């Protein structure tokens, strides 16, 4: 390697000397002869400085290496492939190497640690308001702290246990999750650790990748603290800790791309058909077989006898897979003024895609929440739909929106703005960071590794992956530590402000139900 660098330097020096002679004999001398003495005296210092800068750059033995990227960024843009590469010495924040060749030979994770000093990291923004629910989710352990016995009790239904020690991750798998839920959840956590290296405290966590929450709130009162179990959703009767779902890093089985890519496509998709030019109906497409409430929704579809202003379609994922997912492109589904969100067996990952469309989200009364949906406000971000009278409720919502087009459009825009601005990947990672940071501070014991734990790193996951799984991993790879600190957490709710927040949401829903009741009373009088 040193010999190669020496040869390269000699070639650079030779090349630079040749250019200098050409510049002197063919350009500089003729130009000087054409100028007056006074002009030369005035111009000489400027030309000398410019020439020195050009000559110095030509002799630079360590030029910045750009691989297919624009050299405009102040951060090195070395592409992450499986070849060894050199990060520019001028880079402020170096990229983290990914070398599958070395990993495949040794089957060991890299030992080098990457970090960034506080002085090189600028202050972050203020976190979105829904981050306040982190405090609420961790409140059951606020006074008791978290003990090893509590964590072990959460093992009963967990798919895996993850241990973070000195910024590194270690995995102990208990049961394989459905599809690649566990794989992309773990991949996402690794990306957060790369984004904020060395900043997450030591901790152990149990993760359950099944949809529905299982830690009943009624069984744990006073000093009897519940087992801390992480999952994708919760409800008012359980104490499971909600965490961003796997699909933010891609869902290979249904060809849903990583969120950072898909979010941009959804933004472009909203521009294809202006809201007023969209179909003035409520649209839904999904799998109705997973829950009775969805099968009930299908009864609201348009027929020869009745039009409830709904256009509903059953999704056949098996056929979609065979046809190359031509009819399931989410960015192409922003074609109706209204889109229905309805839960499946529990919460559904589809909610963020529906809210992003600029269409008014008709949200059938939910029983579950994920990490961001508690930040949504009825009649501002969405229109509430009755669960036990879906068809009439959808009919009224669409009629109301078509009669109040500007208000309806504003509602759809508020939802898509929320998704684009407050649910971008920067905030997804910050939510993960703050949740794990506060969680780790509650520990009353020193986390340790069991004999069954194995080190988990980017190389151990991506180097052996194939097909769409590997593609989505590479597309969602965090390449460098963050140049900014995580966003600043908002304060926790105090009891009066929390009660007022919940009361306002219930009041908005009650107002819509009152309007709907009056609407149908008037319809009955007309008939």
Three-state SS across 266-299? HHHHHHHCCHHHCEEEEEEEECHHHCHHHHHHHH
Q: What does the H/E/C string look like for 87-114?
A: CCCCCCCCCCCCCHHHHHHHCCCCCCCC
Q: What is the pLDDT of residue 27?
A: 46
What is the distance between the alpha carbons of residues 328 and 316, in angstroms, rounded to a whole number?
A: 10
CB-based contact 343:367 (threshold 8 Å): yes
Residues with Cβ within 8 Å of 438's Cβ and at least 6 positions away in sequence, in order, are 134, 135, 138
Assign residue 302 a region: left if phi > 0, alpha if psi is -120 to 50, beta otherwise? beta
What is the distance between the alpha carbons of residues 298 and 394, in angstroms, rounded to a whole number?
A: 12
What is the DSSP code (8-state) at residue 238?
A: B
Q: What is the pLDDT of residue 113?
A: 74
Q: How far is CA 10 from the centre of its chain?
A: 47
What is the distance between the alpha carbons of residues 246 and 19, in angstroms, rounded to a whole number?
A: 55
What is the distance between the alpha carbons of residues 191 and 225, in angstroms, rounded to a whole number?
A: 31
Q: What is the pLDDT of residue 348?
A: 95
Instruction: Tell me the pTM.
Output: 0.81
What is the distance between the alpha carbons of residues 350 and 317, in angstroms, rounded to a whole number?
A: 14
Q: Identify the H or E element spanning 84.
A: none
Q: What is the pLDDT of residue 527?
A: 63
CB-based contact 187:249 (threshold 8 Å): yes
Backbone angles phi, psi at 422, to 5 degrees: -105, -10
What is the distance between the alpha carbons of residues 410 and 201, in angstroms, rounded to a whole number?
A: 42
CB-based contact 343:297 (threshold 8 Å): no
Task: Report the sign of the C-alpha dihedral through residues 172, 203, 235, 384, in that order.
Answer: negative
Half-sphere exposure of residue 297, counting CA atoms within 13 Å on the CB side?
32
Q: What is the pLDDT of residue 408?
A: 98
Binning the chain into helix, strand and coil, the percentages to the nearest 5 are 50, 15, 40
Backbone angles phi, psi at 329, to 5 degrees: -70, 115
What is the distance between the alpha carbons of residues 368 and 137, in angstroms, rounded to a whole number?
A: 14
What is the distance between the alpha carbons of residues 447 and 449, in angstroms, rounded to a whole number?
A: 7
Q: Give the residue among 418, 413, 410, 398 at the shortest CA–CA distance from 270.
A: 413
What is the distance between the alpha carbons of residues 458 and 44, in angstroms, rounded to a whole number?
A: 55
CB-based contact 439:142 (threshold 8 Å): no
**Three-state DSSP class for 364?**
strand
What is the distance between the alpha carbons of residues 239 and 224, in angstroms, rounded to a whole number?
A: 13
Assign residue 475 a region: left if phi > 0, alpha if psi is -120 to 50, beta otherwise? alpha
What is the distance between the alpha carbons of residues 8 and 16, in angstroms, rounded to a whole number?
A: 12
User: What is the residue-level pLDDT of the chain in tens, covering all 527 positions?
Assistant: 434 444 334 444 443 444 444 444 554 455 444 444 444 444 444 444 444 443 333 333 333 223 233 333 333 333 333 333 333 333 467 888 898 998 988 999 988 777 777 777 788 899 999 999 999 999 999 999 999 999 999 999 999 999 999 999 999 999 999 999 999 999 999 999 999 999 999 999 999 999 999 999 999 876 789 999 999 999 999 999 999 999 999 999 999 999 999 999 999 999 999 999 999 999 999 999 999 999 999 999 999 889 999 999 998 777 777 777 767 788 888 999 999 999 999 999 999 999 999 999 999 999 999 999 999 999 999 999 999 999 999 999 999 999 999 999 999 999 999 999 999 999 999 999 999 999 999 999 999 999 999 999 999 999 999 999 999 999 999 999 999 999 999 999 999 999 999 999 999 999 999 999 999 998 887 76
What is the distance between the alpha carbons of residues 236 and 213, in angstroms, rounded to a whole number?
A: 10
Look at the chain and count its residues.
527
Backbone angles phi, psi at 204, to 5 degrees: -130, 140
Q: What is the pLDDT of residue 29?
A: 52
Q: Please give the structure tokens belonging to residue 27.
A: 């350009």
Q: What is the pLDDT of residue 39?
A: 45
């Amino acid at each position: 390697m040193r010999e190669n660098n020496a040869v390269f330097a000699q070639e650079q020096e030779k090349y630079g000397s040749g250019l200098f002679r050409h510049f002197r004999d063919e350009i500089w001398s003729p130009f000087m002869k054409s100028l007056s003495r006074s002009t030369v005296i005035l111009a000489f210092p400027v030309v000398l400085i410019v020439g020195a800068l050009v000559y110095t750059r030509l002799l630079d033995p360590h030029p910045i290496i750009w691989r297919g990227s624009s050299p405009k960024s102040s951060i090195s843009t070395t592409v992450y492939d499986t070849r060894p590469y050199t990060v520019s010495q001028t880079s402020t924040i170096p990229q983290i190497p990914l070398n599958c060749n070395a990993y495949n030979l040794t089957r060991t994770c890299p030992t080098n640690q990457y970090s960034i000093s506080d002085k090189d990291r600028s202050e972050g923004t203020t976190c979105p308001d829904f981050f306040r629910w982190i405090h609420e989710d961790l409140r059951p352990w606020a006074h008791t702290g978290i003990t090893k016995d509590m964590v072990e009790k959460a093992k009963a239904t967990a798919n895996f246990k993850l241990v973070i020690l000195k910024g590194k991750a270690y995995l102990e798998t208990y049961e394989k999750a459905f599809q690649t839920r566990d794989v992309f959840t773990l991949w996402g956590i690794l990306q957060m650790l790369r984004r904020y290296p060395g900043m997450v405290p030591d901790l152990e966590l149990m993760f359950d990748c099944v949809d529905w929450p299982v830690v009943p709130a009624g069984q744990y009162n006073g000093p009897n603290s519940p087992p801390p179990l992480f999952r994708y959703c919760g409800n008012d009767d359980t104490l499971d800790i909600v965490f961003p779902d796997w699909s933010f890093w891609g869902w290979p089985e249904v060809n849903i791309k990583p969120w950072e890519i898909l979010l941009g496509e959804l933004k472009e998709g909203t521009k294809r058909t202006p809201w007023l030019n969209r179909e003035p109906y409520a649209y839904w497409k999904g799998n109705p077989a997973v829950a009775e409430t969805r099968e009930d929704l299908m009864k609201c579809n348009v027929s020869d006898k009745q039009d409830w202003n709904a256009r509903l379609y059953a999704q056949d994922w098996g056929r979609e897979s065979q046809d190359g997912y031509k009819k399931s492109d989410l960015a192409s589904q922003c074609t109706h003024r209204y889109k229905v969100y309805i839960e499946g067996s529990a919460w559904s990952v589809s909610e963020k895609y529906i809210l992003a469309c600029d269409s008014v989200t008709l949200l059938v009364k939910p029983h579950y929440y994920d990490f961001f949906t508690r930040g949504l406000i009825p009649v501002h971000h969405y229109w509430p739909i009755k669960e036990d009278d879906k068809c009439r409720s959808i009919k009224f919502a669409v009629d109301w929106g078509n009669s109040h087009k500007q208000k309806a459009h504003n509602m759809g825009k508020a939802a898509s703005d929320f998704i684009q601005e407050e649910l971008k990947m920067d905030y997804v990672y910050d939510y993960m960071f703050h949740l794990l940071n506060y969680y780790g501070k509650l520990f009353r014991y020193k986390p340790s590794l069991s004999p069954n734990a194995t080190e988990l790193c980017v190389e151990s996951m991506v180097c052996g992956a194939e097909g769409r799984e590997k593609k989505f991993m590479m597309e969602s790879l965090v390449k460098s530590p963050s140049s900014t600190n995580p966003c600043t957490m908002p304060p926790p709710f105090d009891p009066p402000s929390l009660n007022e927040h919940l009361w306002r949401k219930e009041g908005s829903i009650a107002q819509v139900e009152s309007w709907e009741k009056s609407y149908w009373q008037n319809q009955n009088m007309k008939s």
